[in-house]
Amino acid sequence: MRDHTRVLQLTCAGLFLAIALVLPFLIGQIPQIGTALSPMHIPVLLCGFLCGWQWGMAVGFVAPLLRSVLFGMPAMFPGAVSMAFELAVYGIMAGVLHRVLPEKPWAVYVALVISMIGGRLVWGLVRYLLAGLDHTEFTLEMFAAGALTNALPGIILHIILIPPLVMALEKAGLTMNRRS
């Protein structure tokens, strides 16, 4: 049974990675809000919730780097590099928190919000460190704009969309990240 679960996790993680690569094309057709909706974050968070922290971390770290190499967006430095760490933290935190918090609907929301905060903080830290390496500036105002102000549509979308999806997929028996 354990081998079956691993294969299912790998298959789902591959699907979430594919969605992370393609979803920005669909949402990006609306240039004014396309990037503000943070479309790559959705499959990474879902992967962490449903497949576990290891798979969420892997998909989160690989997705922006692979998308940068394949399609040139986001730009590798500093965009894709800082996003790789941010999304890896999303996957880790969503997976861990979803596993340890009670199996209650409110817990999915709590895990999501904490994961988004943790990921945004790591994104800011990595952007700050990369700015130092690049001899550029990354101010607190730039962090607030990138992590909150410009990202507000995506934050709202994630809070509205992800918890019901997680709960529906769990109800259908499609989660591999709960205590047995």
pLDDT tens figures, 90-137: 999 999 999 999 999 999 999 999 999 999 999 999 999 999 988 899
**Statement: residue 31 has pLDDT above 60:** yes
**In total, how many domains does the chain have?**
1
pLDDT of residue 67: 97
Q: Kindly state whether residue 178 falls inside one of the protein's structural domains.
A: no
* Best CA proximity match to 165, nearest among 178, 177, 174, 176: 174
Is residue 176 domain-resident? no
pTM of the model: 0.94
> How many whole angstroms separate alpha carbon 45 and alpha carbon 90?
6
Note whether residue 153 is domain-resident. yes
Quote the crossing angle between the two packed helices 41-51 and 2-27, to the nearest 10°. 170
Domain limits at 114? Answer: 2-171
* % of the chain at pLDDT higher than 90: 79
- Cα gap 21→72, rounded to integer Å: 12
- Whichever domain contains 64, its CATH number is 1.10.1760
The answer to whether 58 and 91 are in contact (CB under 8 A) is: yes
26: in domain? yes
Cβ distance 16 to 47 under 8 Å?
yes
For residues 56 and 10, the answer to whether their CB atoms sit within 8 Å is: no
* 177 domain-assigned: no
Strands (E), the chain: none
Residue 180, domain member (yes or no) = no
